[in-house]
């Protein structure tokens, strides 16, 4: 099968793009409304884009509460959604009315951040505290034939990470035990995945020869050296 994205082949029930661009970290974004009520929602288009300085991005389809709140006060937190919180994460995605506190809705406790006003999810194993750097309006999708409402486009939100929270239960010998956190990933359709200690593996980075024409990789697990 090979096709243009402007039209989906009849053999596909749904657009497969999100089932192919996988796995995607879940951005569990918390903000504060103008009235001080916290808002919490998971975003599947989320990732890190830089580590010097540390920066993350997520994109919002339509002008949702999260985006409005960030545009208002320029801050947001992003908690790590993990296996133990999968049901709460899913519930926090409900399209409830503006002003509803999704922390309370999902039975989650907010925890105070170090550098920003929006809280993080207290039960989450880790969280980023972010300040808005820039929003970018992405190209609007083409209108579908016969549609009475114009399709909503996406807005890219880029934030600088100004503080990080890590539950010390997931730190050992100076390293974060990512597998022990069991973070969730978003796939396509209604599919999710989870990272576990058993699913992790390491590879040493290859090194190039002096003339830059060949490369080799030290066999075995990661030796703890960044190359």
Average pLDDT over residues 98-114: 97
The average pLDDT across 87-111 equals 96
**What confidence tier does 145 reach under pLDDT thresholds 50, 70, 90?**
low
- Report the distance separating Cα 131 and Cα 59, nearest Å: 15
The domains of the chain are located at 17-216
The mean of the pLDDT values for the chain is: 94
Q: What is the pLDDT of residue 21?
A: 96
| Residue that wins the pLDDT comparison between 219 and 156 | 156
Q: What is the rounded CA–CA span in Å between residue 8 and residue 19?
A: 14
Band (pLDDT 50/70/90 cuts) for residue 23 is: very high
Q: Distance between CA 48 and CA 54 in Å, rounded?
A: 8
Give residue 8's pLDDT.
86
Give the pLDDT of residue 30. Answer: 98
Residue 150 has pLDDT above 70, yes or no: no
Q: For residue 104, give both structure tokens.
A: 């309370």
Q: Is residue 210 pLDDT above 80, yes or no?
A: yes
Residue ranges of alpha helices (H) inside the chain are 17-20, 65-73, 86-91, 102-105, 178-181
Residue 224 pLDDT: 85
pLDDT at residue number 72: 96
pLDDT for res 227: 78
- Gyration radius of the chain over CA positions: 20
Write b or e for each residue in 80-94: b if 16 or more Cβ atoms lie within 10 A of its Cβ, otherwise e.
bbbeebeebbebbbe
Average pLDDT over residues 105-113: 98
Mean pLDDT, residues 136-160: 82
Task: At 8, list the tokens.
Answer: 């989906």
Q: 217, 198, 199: which is closest to 207 by C-alpha?
A: 217
Percent of the chain with pLDDT over 70: 96
Question: In the structure, what pLDDT confidence band is assigned to residue 125 with cuts at 50, 70 and 90?
Answer: very high
Contact 23, 185 (CB under 8 A): yes
| CB 82 within 8 Å of CB 182 | yes
**17-216: CATH topology:** Pnp Oxidase; Chain A (2.30.110)
- Confidence (pTM): 0.93
Sign of the torsion angle spanned by Cα atoms 194, 198, 199, 201 = positive
Q: What is the pLDDT of residue 146?
A: 57
Q: Give the per-residue pLDDT at 54.
A: 98
């Amino acid at each position: 099968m090979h096709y243009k994205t402007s039209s989906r082949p009849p053999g596909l029930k749904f657009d497969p793009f999100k089932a192919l661009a996988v796995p995607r970290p879940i951005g569990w974004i918390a903000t504060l409304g103008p009235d001080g009520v916290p808002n919490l929602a998971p975003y599947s288009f989320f990732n890190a884009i830089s580590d010097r300085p540390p920066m993350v991005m997520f994109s919002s389809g339509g002008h949702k509460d999260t985006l409005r709140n960030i545009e208002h006060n320029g801050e947001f937190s992003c908690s790590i959604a993990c296996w133990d919180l999968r049901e709460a994460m899913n519930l926090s995605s409900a399209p409830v009315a503006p002003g509803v506190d999704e922390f309370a809705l999902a039975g989650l406790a907010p925890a105070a951040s170090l550098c920003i006003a929006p809280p993080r999810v207290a039960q989450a194993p880790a969280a980023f505290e972010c300040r808005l750097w820039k929003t970018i309006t992405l190209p609007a999708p083409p209108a579908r034939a016969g549609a009475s409402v114009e399709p909503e486009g996406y807005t890219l939100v880029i934030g600088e990470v100004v503080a990080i929270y890590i539950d010390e239960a997931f730190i050992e010998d100076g390293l974060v035990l990512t597998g022990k956190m069991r973070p969730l990933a978003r796939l396509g359709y209604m599919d999710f995945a989870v990272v576990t200690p058993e699913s992790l593996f390491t590879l040493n980075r290859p090194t190039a020869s002096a003339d830059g024409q060949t490369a080799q990789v030290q066999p075995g697990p990661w030796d703890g050296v960044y190359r």
